[in-house]
Amino acid sequence: MAKFNKVLAIETSCDDTSVALVRSDGWVEALESANQDDLHRPFGGVVPEIAGRNHTRVLLPVIDRVVGKSADGWAGIDGLVVTHRPGLVGSLLVGVVTAKSLSIAYDLPFVGVNHLEGHLQAPFLRDEKYQPQYDWGDKPYVGLAVSGGHTTLFLIKKLGEYEVLGTTIDDAAGEAYDKFAKMTGLGFPGGVRVDKCAQAGDSGAYEFPKALWQKGNMNFSFSGLKTAVQNQVQSMPEVERKERINDLAASFQKVVVDVLLEKLKRAVEKAGVKRAIITGGVSANSALRERSELWGQESGVEIMAPPLRYCTDNAAMIGYVGIQRLNNGERSEHTLGVYPQSGIIPIKRYAKG
């Protein structure tokens, strides 16, 4: 079987149009992402219809530029990889239909990839400025995938073999950040702005609830936190709310990070492994990074969190999953569909929430 040395990967599951060239050892030869924040900002969140329409406008030019960065152009590309689930259907469709068309036009095999699997492989990408800190080979590890759409703890046994140890029963952590930003007038996108305010605030200023804290529970819930913040914000005159925004953000962030880290610790203990990754958009969070690093040093758990460009949605992580699958002999048919749910990752919960 011919080996796949380099693939072109396409990621359009939400509002970022991202294209990458990735080699079989995880080396990212090129990555370009076009973000749509300016288009969604007036609405305070991602508008699916706008996201899909904009992917249609920008995807082919981004592909052209990325292929142009490769010395041998299309001739050096052995296969195509595309995110086909989970995500916004109208957004996924643009990427999948484009990948199918390119597969026919250039006579290249292609494979559809689960977006979450991409996040779980992101720490293993490499480029001129980043190398994974540890080489775990095929050893199992725990993964906390925490983004705008997901907050899930996985035990990753190997590529394609996952167990869900815990997940959110309502909102995702990133969603909570985005809602906090909307309620307090910080705007869109929320995570980075709240994080910045939190760094300048007093995390003990307000007391917000930690849900599902009881022993052994590895699930998450952020809807109670959202309501508590809402009640607090509504009880404050606008002037005071603006004056205390840093303290509000710091108190909110403390609860989110306390919960994420505590559940991650429980999952590592339950799985009996000393390796963990934190991935997804929220893993860009400054407090989550600092505190998880500290915990790793204290506990001897090897922790990796990818650099920011590989934390948030990007095609490089999708390409790395896809090239491994192609080299394992997997191919998608031209009938491949798109799905809003994560699907192929089996749900098995240890803890009841």
DSSP per-residue letters across 306-321? --HHHHSS-HHHHHHH
Structure token pair of residue 289: 């990074």
* Residue 189, binding choice from Zn ion, ligand KG4, none, Cβ under 5 to 8 Å by partner class: ligand KG4
Cα–Cα distance between 284 and 7 in angstroms, integer?
26
178 in contact with Zn ion (CB under 5 A): no
Q: Which is nearer to ligand KG4, 16 or 247 (CB)?
A: 16
Residues 169-188 within binding reach of ligand KG4 (CB under 6 A): 174, 177-178
112 in contact with ligand KG4 (CB under 6 A): no
Q: Which is nearer to ligand KG4, 117 or 313 (CB)?
A: 313
342 in contact with Zn ion (CB under 5 A): no
Backbone angles phi and psi of 166, in degrees to 5: -175, 155
- Position among 14, 80, 81, 245 found at the interface with ligand KG4 (CB under 6 A): 14
Q: Which is nearer to ligand KG4, 91 or 217 (CB)?
A: 91
Structure token pair of residue 8: 């072109």
- Position among 88, 282, 303, 304 found at the interface with ligand KG4 (CB under 6 A): 282
195 in contact with ligand KG4 (CB under 6 A): yes
DSSP per-residue letters across 63-109? HHHHHHTSTTGGGG--EEEEEEESS-HHHHHHHHHHHHHHHHHTT--
The number of beta carbons lying within 10 Å of the beta carbon of residue 324 is 22
* Residue 192, binding choice from ligand KG4, Zn ion, none, Cβ under 5 to 8 Å by partner class: ligand KG4
306 in contact with ligand KG4 (CB under 6 A): no
* Residue 178, binding choice from Zn ion, ligand KG4, none, Cβ under 5 to 8 Å by partner class: ligand KG4
Name the 3-class secondary structure at 154.
Answer: strand
Question: Edge to edge, what strands does the sheet with 302-304 contain?
Answer: 161-167, 151-158, 141-146, 275-279, 302-304
Cα–Cα distance between 7 and 123 in angstroms, integer?
18
- Position among 280, 306, 319, 322 found at the interface with ligand KG4 (CB under 6 A): 280
86 in contact with ligand KG4 (CB under 6 A): no
* Residue 285, binding choice from ligand KG4, Zn ion, none, Cβ under 5 to 8 Å by partner class: ligand KG4
- Position among 147, 221, 285, 332 found at the interface with Zn ion (CB under 5 A): 147
Q: Which is nearer to Zn ion, 203 or 312 (CB)?
A: 312
Q: Which residues contact 4 (CB under 8 A, 6 or more apart)?
A: 24, 78, 79, 323, 326, 327
CA 307 from chain center: how many Å? 12
With CB under 5 A, what is the number of residues at the site for Zn ion?
A: 2
Residues that bind ligand KG4 in the complex, under the rule CB under 6 A: 14, 147-149, 174, 177-178, 189-192, 195, 280-282, 284-285, 312-313
